[in-house]
Amino acid sequence: MRKVMIFGVFDGVHEGHRALFREARNHGDHLVIAVAPDHIVRALKSHDPELSLDERIALLLGEDLVDEVVAGDATLGSYDVVREHAPHAIVLGYDQTELKKDLEGKLYDASWELTIVVAGSHEPEKYHNSLLSDKKN
């Protein structure tokens, strides 16, 4: 089994996320999503998520392409969740450039085969979460 992992907040799921799920499945046959805990969202985005961690996990578990959903690391940048699940590939969204740099710096010596892939964007002018949040207000 080839595991692939995605990281994110997932404060709602839209077609951009589903495109990411589809692209991730091209790199493995078991999709694990690591969802950022509320305090990590606060640290990264300077605001609380609209949905609780449990609500965001439940939402993702309802998606057909998702096999497993786990809470992300309690400590920002520790990547314990990556070491625990040992995915063959981590697929990042087109806008996760800082995360890519951090992962490459901290997981360069992974003791298993690991590839980091940046997915293409899927209509970012329409499906980026910050834009969807603005439309709700």
54-95 tens-digit pLDDT: 999 999 999 999 999 999 999 999 999 999 999 999 999 998
Q: What is the mean pLDDT of residues 104-119?
A: 91
- pLDDT value at position 85? 97
Cross-strand pairs, 89? 4, 115
Q: Which is more confidently placed, 128 or 10? A: 10
**What's the predicted TM-score (pTM) here?**
0.86
**Whether residue 43 has pLDDT greater than 60:** yes
- pLDDT value at position 8? 96
Ordered by where they begin, the domains of the chain are: 3-136 (3.40.50.620)
- pLDDT value at position 137? 42
Query: Is residue 25 within 8 Å of 62, Cβ to Cβ?
Result: no
15's enclosing H/E stretch is helix 15-25
- pLDDT value at position 46? 94
The Cα-based distances of 62 to 4, 43, 77, 103, 134 in angstroms read: 18, 27, 27, 28, 25
Q: What is the mean pLDDT of residues 37-59?
A: 96
The Cα-based distances of 127 to 20, 97, 114, 131, 132 in angstroms read: 12, 18, 29, 7, 7
Residue from 64, 2, 79, 1 nearest 34 by CA: 79
- The three-state secondary structure class of 30 is strand
